Structure 1
Amino acid sequence: MKIENRLKELREQHKYTQDDVAGFLNISRQSVSKWELGKGYPDIDNLRRLSDLYKISLDQLITGEEKYHTQVASDSTDSNESDHKTVGDFLWRHWWILFPILGVISTWLYY
């Protein structure tokens, strides 16, 4: 399926008007119309926003099918803190903490 048909199909499935999509993307309605007519294509930022709007992956947005079913873990500090089990992993992630520790040790050794 061509991307212009896919964009129109998704917009209609979600019962959005071209004005609704344009408002979400902060662009003109004419841009959305051009995309759906195949006279232009959205840039990568707008493709990403469209995938957010329609709650689908970029792959699904562009091709209409999901090719990869693996989920990528997010890089938030809360979910990954338990993953770092060795001292080396901790130091790699929090290398900056060595500076105050070394400062305290050098002050202690100096006196």
Structure 2
Amino acid sequence: MVKLNLGEQLQRLREEKNLSREELAQEMNVSRQAVYKWENNKGYPDIENLIKLSDLYNVTLDELIKGDHSFQKKIVIDQKKNKIEDLSDPGFMIGIILVFVGYF
């Protein structure tokens, strides 16, 4: 099975739901340009939007990101930039969990 990168996965899921980029943008409360960037790997949704997307498409976070190794590396790099006191931030903890989920 060919693994899709995050952008390809997001576009495929949106099209399966018969949503336009504009409709998805409205549903997600983001710009149409943001959706375009996500689907073309010019940017990544933040963890909050990843959770919304997984709920909307009825897929797990793991299913969304597992095939995109560059996105997984970005999570690791971003986490290294954070300071230890950021452990109280729920987004930080979810990022760490996603990194570990990708390895198992």
TM-score w.r.t. length of structure 2 = 0.58
Q: For the residues of structure 1 that align with 2:20 and 2:52, how far apart are their CA atoms?
A: 16
Residue deviations 1:53-86 (CA, integer Å, cap 9, x gap): 101111112236xxxxxxxxxxxxxxxxxxxxxx
1:17 matched to 2:20? The reply is yes
Could you tell me which runs of 5 or more consecutive residues in structure 1 were left unpaired when the two chains were aligned: 65-111
Could you tell me which runs of 5 or more consecutive residues in structure 2 were left unpaired when the two chains were aligned: 68-104
1:7 is matched with which residue: 7, 10, 30? 10
Q: Secondary structure at the match of 2:43?
A: coil
Residue deviations 1:11-63 (CA, integer Å, cap 9, x gap): 01111111111111101000000111111000000000000110111111223
Q: For the residues of structure 1 that align with 2:24 and 2:65, how far apart are their CA atoms?
A: 17
- Identity level (%): 48
Aligned residues: CA RMSD: 1.1
Q: Quick check: which has more Rg, 1 or 2?
A: 1
Report which structure shows greater RCO (CA 8 Å, sep ≥6). 2
TM-score w.r.t. length of structure 1 = 0.55
The aligned length equals 64
Hey, which bits of structure 1, 4+ residues long, moved more than 3 A? none
Structure with higher helix content: 2
Q: For the residues of structure 2 that align with 1:38 and 1:24, how far apart are their CA atoms?
A: 20
1:52 matched to 2:55? The reply is yes
